[in-house]
A and B are shown apart, each in its own frame.
Chain A
Amino acid sequence: MQHYGCRQPLNSKEEENPPTCMERSPTQLCCRLARDVTGISKMPAVSKGDGMRGLAVFISDIRNCKSKEAEVKRINKELANIRSKFKGDKALDGYSKKKYVCKLLFIFLLGHDIDFGHMEAVNLLSSNKYTEKQIGYLFISVLVNSNSDLISLINNGIKNDLASRNPTFMNLALHCIANVGSREMAEAFASQIPSILVAGDTMDSVKQSAALCLLRLNRTSPDLVPMGEWTARVVHLLNDQHLGVVTAAASLITTLAQKSPEDFKTSISLAVARLSRIVTSASIDLQDYTYYFVAAPWLSVKLLRLLQCYPPPEDAALRSRLTECLETILNKAQEPPKSKKVQHSNAKNAVLFEAIALIIHHDSEPTLLVRACNQLGQFLQHRETNLRYLALESMCTLASSEFSHEAVKTHIDTVINALKTERDVSVRQRAVDLLYAMCDRSNAKQIVAEMLSYLENADYSIREEMVLKVAILAEKYAVDYTWYVDTILNLIRIAGDYVSEEVWYRVIQIVINQDDVQGYAAKTVFEALQAPACHENLVKVGGYILGEFGNLIAGDSRSSPLVQFNLLHSKFHLCSVPTRALLLSAYIKFINLFPEVKATIQDVLRSDSQLRNADVELQQRAIEYLRLSCIASTDILATVLEEMPPFPERESSILAKLKKKKGPGNLPDIDDTRWNVNGSAEHSEDTESTNKVTPHHPFTDLLNLNSTPSAGASLLVDVLSDISTPAPITVSEDNFSRFVCKNNGVIYEDQLLQIGLKAEYRQNLGRIYVFYGNKTSTQFLSFSSSVTSSDTLKTHILSTAVDPTVDGGAQLQQVVNIECLSDFTDAPVLDIQFRYGGTLQKIAVKLPVMLNKFFQPTEMTSQDFFQRWKQLGVPQQEVQTIFKAQHPMDTDVTNAKILGFGVALLIGVDPNPANFVGAGVIHTKNTQVGCLLRLEPNTQAQMYRLTLRTSRESVSQRLCDLLSDQF
C-alpha cells in the first residue's frame, strides 16, 4: 500500500507532522497540504468547472487500485481505449482530445511509456482555442524529445503562433522552443527571436519569454545565434521599466557575456547603476518585486552574477559606486532582521552571498575581502544549517585569494569542529573541501591528521575523494618524506578500498625519486605488512618497495631477505592477479638483491601453481623469470633488474584524478572556471590513460607513459634474445661522494665483486690500497686492472703484477700511488676486467681522489683568520652556496666531517658558536693554495650556508661543490 500515502488518516498525520512543518515553513501552507491531502473530500475539486470528469474518474480508479498489477491492468485498459478513440473513424472534438492527452500525461508521470498520441498533440497546436493549444504544447514539452521526427510539424505550429501577435500564443510558442531547444527549432527561429525581443511594441511578458528562449538556443546551438545589431539593444533592456524583463535580460546577457565579454562590456555600467538603485534607495520603482522586505532579491543576484563576468570596473566613479553597493549589502547583514520569517533572511542572504562571490571574484579590495571573510566566519557558527553550508562553500574560494588566505586560516578550528560535529553529510563535505583549500605548509600536518581521523568514520560517498585529497596534501606539503610515507600507509590502512591506483603509483614514484626516504619506506612497509590482514594495496606498495629497496633493511636479522620474502609470499595467495604479477616481479628483483634466497624463490617459481597457472600473464612471468634467473649471469641480472631510475617530474596523477572527479568548478585553485558551466569536459581528458592498467609492465605503468617501453622491459628482451651481448659499461660513482670526508670504505659492490679502499695522503702525494674481493665461489680469470687520470694527476699502479686469477671467496690487494701536480676536478678511473663463468666482466669505478685530499690543516687565531678572510675578499675568490640539510643537523657529526674534509677546525673563532670555520692549505706539486671556509647552519629552516675563500677561483668552486654535498 506504500504509494497511497496521501490517503493516510488525517489524525495520525497531523500528530506526526506539525512541529516539523512549522519549523521548515513558517507559512501555514504545509499544514494545509497535510490536512487536505488526506481528504478524499477534496475530490469534488474536479467539478470546479473544467468538467473533465472522465479524467477524474480514471485517476480515482488508479488510486483505488489495490496492487501494482491492478494498476497496470487499469492503465493498459485506458491506453487501449484512448488508442481506439484516436484511431477511430469519428473525429474527436478538442475537448476530448484534451481529456485524453491529460490522461496520457498522467500515465507518463507514473512511469509508463507513451508511444502514441504525439500526432494528436501536434494537431492541437493548430486549434484556435487556448485550452487545446495549451494542452498540445504541454504534451510536446513533456513528451517530445529534440530528436523527434515530428519537429517540422511542431515548428509549423510554432511559426503560426509566433506570427499571431497574440501574446498568450506567442508565449506558448516561445516556451515550447525553450523547453525542447532542438537544433531544428534553432535553425527555424534563431534569427526571428532577437527581433521579437527588442521590438518596441512587444509585450513585457513576451520579452521575458523571448530573452530566455534566446538564451536557451544560445546554449544548445550557439552557432545559430549570431551577434548582431540587436546585442546593443539587449544590453539596454537592463534599463527596462519592468523588473521581470530586466531579470530575464540579465540572465541572457550573463550567458552571452561569458562567451564574448567585449560585445557586452557596456552592460557593466548599466548593471551597477541598476544594482545601486535597488540596494541603496528605498524601494520606489520595485513594483511588486519586494520579497519579504527585501528589494528585488533575484534581480540583485542576477546583476551580481553578471558583474562576475568582468574584472572590477576601470572607471573610478563606477568602481566606487559598486564598492558602495557591496558595502551597503555587507552593512545590511548586520542590521536587525525586518521579519522573523526564514524567507526574509534567505532572500537577504542570497544577495549577500552573491555580493561576497563578486568580492572574491574581483579579489582586489583587501578591506572588502576581509569583511567578507569575517561575515562568512559569523555564518560558520550560525544556527541555520544552510548558512553554515554556504559559508563553508564560499570560504573555499576565498582561501585562494592572497589577501584573505591568512584570514580564512584563522577559522581552522571551527572548520575542523564542523567536520566532527555536523550532522549533515553535505555540510561535512564542504568542511573537507575548505580544509583542503586552506591547507598550506604551516597547517598541513594538523589538517592531514584531522582528515585521516575523520576518514575512519567518513560517509562512504565521500571517502574516495577524501583519500585523494589527503594524498595530495601529504605530497604537496611534505617537509620530510617519512611523514609522507607514514601518511599514505595510514591512508591505505584506514581506507584501502578507496585508495585508487593513482595514489599508490604516486607513493612509489616519490620513494623512487627521494633516495633519503627509501630505507625508511622499506622498513615501514615491512612493518605494516606484519599485520595479519592487510589491504591488497598495501601488498602492492610493499611488494614494489621491498623489491627495489629490501636490501636497505636486510642487515637486520628480523628483516633478513628470507623473512622479507616469506612475508610477501604469505600474502600472495590472497591477492588478485595483477597484484600477484607484481609480486612475481618483486621476487625476481629479490633474486638479484639477495643471491642467498635465489634457490627458495626459484622453487616457488617452479611450482605448478605458477608454471601452470591458468592465468596466462602469471604463467608467462613465472616461466620467464625462472629462466632468467637460471641462465643469466649475475651481472646481466644486475643490469636487467637494476633499481628503477627516477621518474620524470610531472603533474601528480592524483591531482588529475581529483580534478576529474570534482569537475572544474569545485577545485579552489581553478577559479576562473566557475562560470564555465558548460565546459566540464575539458579537464577530464588527460587522465584516461592512467586508469588503464596493463598488467604486463606494472613498473612501466608508474611512468604513465604507455607509449614508451620501459628500460627494464627492453633490457629484458635484449637479454633473452642475445645473451652474450655485454651491457654497456658506465663508470660507477655511486659511493664516490661518501669518500669526500673519509678515506676508507667500500667503493663498489655488485653480485660478484666488492672493491674496498684504504687511502693515505701527505702533502701532494697519496697512496691507495685497493682490495678486490671475489664474492662468488668461482674463480675470476684473466683479472686485470688499470687506472686512467687527467694530466694534472699522476697515477701509478705499483703492484701491476697482480695474479690474473682470483679464487672464489679470496681477496686481492693492489696499491695505487698518486701525485697531484696542480688543482684538478676529474677523478681517476679504475678499470677492471675479468672472466666469470665464461663471460667477460668489465667494471669501471671512479676512484675517490679529490682535491681536498691534499689538504694540510692550518691552525690559526681568530685575529689571523679574519685578517686572511679579508685579504681573500675579491669576489672571484669567494664561492658561496645555500643548501638544504640532507641529514639531521648534528654538531658532532658536522665537526667530524669538516675534520675529515682535511682542514683544521677552528674553535672559538666565529663570534656565533653555532657556526663552523676551518682553514687549510692544498698542496700540489706546482703550488700551494690557502683556503678558509665557514659553514653556517640554520636549524629552524634546516638549511646551511657554506662560504669558501681561496686564492684561486677554481679551487674555491671545486671545494665548495665537494663539501656542500656532505651535510
Chain B
Amino acid sequence: MIKAILIFNNHGKPRLSKFYEHYNEDTEQQIIRETFHLVSKRDENVCNFLEGGMLIGGSDYKLIYRHYATLYFVFCVDSSESELGILDLIQVFVETLDKCFENVCELDLIFHVDKVHNILAEMVMGGMVLETNMNEIITQVDAQNKMEKSEVTSVLA
C-alpha cells in the first residue's frame, strides 16, 4: 500500500502532498520536512530506495523517489509494493503530467494543484494503484477537461 505521495522542490517547498493515512496537519508538514531531509542529502546515482523516516513508520516503510530537475517525487510504500513497479509508476505519473500540461514544469504544479490531484486520482486511489496505462489515464483526464470546459463556457455565456 502507498502511504503517502509527496512532491517537493529542491528546496523542500511542497508542491503536492497526498496522504492515504490520516495524520494531523502538523505531522503531515513534519513528515514532508523529514522526507525532504532524508531524500535531498542523497547523492545522485545512489539507489532510489531508502527506509522511511521515523514519523512515517520507520523501516517497515520504504521511500521510493525520483528526482526530476527541480522536483522530487517521493512515494512512501509498505512491503507489499514492488519497488521497481513504483519507480515505473512515478515515471508514468510524470509522463502523464507532461502530456496533460504540454511540457510540464514546476509552475504547472503550483498553479494547477487541483488538476495534478485529479491526474493522481486516476492512478492511485486509497493508497492502491488504480491504473497504470497512460492512454487510459489521459482519456479520463481529457473527458474531465471537456466537461469542465463546457461548464465554464456555459457560465460565461
Chain B residues in 8 Å Cβ range of A354: 82
**B16 and A289 contact, CB distance less than 8 A:** no
Q: A23-B44, A24-B68, A429-B51 are in contact. Are A244 and B79 (CB under 8 A)?
A: no
| Chain B residues numbered 78-120 whose CB sits less than 8 Å from any CB in chain A | 78-80, 82-85, 87-89, 91-92, 94-95, 98, 101, 103-108, 110-114, 117-118
Chain B residues in 8 Å Cβ range of A181: 126
A349 in the interface, Cβ–Cβ < 8 Å?
Answer: yes
**B111 and A46 contact, CB distance less than 8 A:** yes
Q: Which 6 A-B pairs have the closest CB atoms?
A: A36-B105, A178-B126, A350-B84, A216-B126, A34-B69, A424-B46
**B46 and A50 contact, CB distance less than 8 A:** no
Which residues does A use to contact B, with CB under 8 Å?
Answer: 2-3, 5-6, 13, 17, 20-21, 23-25, 27, 29-37, 39-40, 42-43, 45-46, 49-51, 55-56, 59, 63, 93, 95, 102, 105-106, 108-111, 113, 129-131, 134-135, 138, 142, 145-146, 168, 174-175, 177-179, 181, 205, 208-209, 212-213, 215-216, 219, 243-244, 247-248, 251, 254, 287-289, 291, 297-298, 301, 305, 343, 346-347, 349-350, 353-354, 385-386, 388-390, 423-427, 429, 661-663, 665-666, 674-675, 677, 680
**Bound-state Cα–Cα, A350 to B91, Å:** 14
Which of B85, B107, B140 contacts A37, CB < 8 Å? B107
**Bound-state Cα–Cα, A63 to B101, Å:** 21
**Bound-state Cα–Cα, A145 to B89, Å:** 27
Which of B85, B107, B144 contacts A297, CB < 8 Å? B85
Closest chain B residue, CB of each to CB of A292: B88
CB distance from A49 to the nearest CB of B (A): 7
Which of B16, B114, B121, B129 contacts A135, CB < 8 Å? B114
Contact with A along B1-45 (1 / 0, CB 8 A): 100000001111111111010101100010000000000001111
CB distance from B47 to the nearest CB of A (A): 4
CB distance from B36 to the nearest CB of A (A): 11
Chain A residues in 8 Å Cβ range of B17: 109
**A665 and B132 contact, CB distance less than 8 A:** no
Closest chain A residue, CB of each to CB of B68: A30
Chain A residues in 8 Å Cβ range of B55: none
**B121 and A6 contact, CB distance less than 8 A:** no
**A17 and B130 contact, CB distance less than 8 A:** no
Closest chain B residue, CB of each to CB of A143: B25
Which of A31, A212, A298, A666 contacts B125, CB < 8 Å? A212
**Bound-state Cα–Cα, A102 to B105, Å:** 19
Which of B29, B58, B104, B136 contacts A111, CB < 8 Å? B29
CB distance from A344 to the nearest CB of B (A): 10
**A130 and B85 contact, CB distance less than 8 A:** no
Number of interface residues of B (CB under 8 A): 87
Chain B residues in 8 Å Cβ range of A677: 1, 78-80
CB distance from A306 to the nearest CB of B (A): 11
**A289 and B105 contact, CB distance less than 8 A:** no
**B111 and A289 contact, CB distance less than 8 A:** no
**B88 and A297 contact, CB distance less than 8 A:** yes
Chain B residues in 8 Å Cβ range of A213: 125-126
The majority secondary structure among interface residues of chain A is: helix
**Bound-state Cα–Cα, A744 to B126, Å:** 82
**Bound-state Cα–Cα, A17 to B71, Å:** 12
Q: A33-B69, A37-B105, A350-B82 are in contact. Are A244 and B136 (CB under 8 A)?
A: yes
CB distance from B86 to the nearest CB of A (A): 9
**A6 and B9 contact, CB distance less than 8 A:** yes
**Bound-state Cα–Cα, A19 to B98, Å:** 20
Chain A residues in 8 Å Cβ range of B14: 109-111
**A346 and B84 contact, CB distance less than 8 A:** yes
**A426 and B47 contact, CB distance less than 8 A:** yes
Chain B residues in 8 Å Cβ range of A343: 88, 91
Chain B residues in 8 Å Cβ range of A289: 132-133
Chain A residues in 8 Å Cβ range of B45: 23, 385, 423
CB distance from B31 to the nearest CB of A (A): 11
Which of A131, A135, A254, A663 contacts B147, CB < 8 Å? A131
Q: A36-B104, A130-B144 are in contact. Are A426 and B84 (CB under 8 A)?
A: no
**Bound-state Cα–Cα, A168 to B44, Å:** 41
Which of A109, A145, A288, A386 contacts B136, CB < 8 Å? A288
**A95 and B107 contact, CB distance less than 8 A:** no
| Chain B residues numbered 39-69 whose CB sits less than 8 Å from any CB in chain A | 42-51, 58-60, 66-69
**Bound-state Cα–Cα, A425 to B67, Å:** 18
* 30 A-B residue pairings within 8 Å (CB atoms): A5-B13, A6-B9, A6-B106, A13-B70, A23-B44, A24-B66, A32-B104, A33-B70, A37-B107, A42-B107, A50-B148, A55-B111, A113-B25, A131-B152, A209-B125, A216-B128, A244-B131, A247-B132, A248-B128, A251-B129, A298-B129, A346-B88, A347-B84, A353-B82, A353-B83, A353-B84, A354-B82, A388-B47, A663-B59, A666-B60
**Bound-state Cα–Cα, A39 to B17, Å:** 24
CB distance from A739 to the nearest CB of B (A): 56
**Bound-state Cα–Cα, A597 to B110, Å:** 77
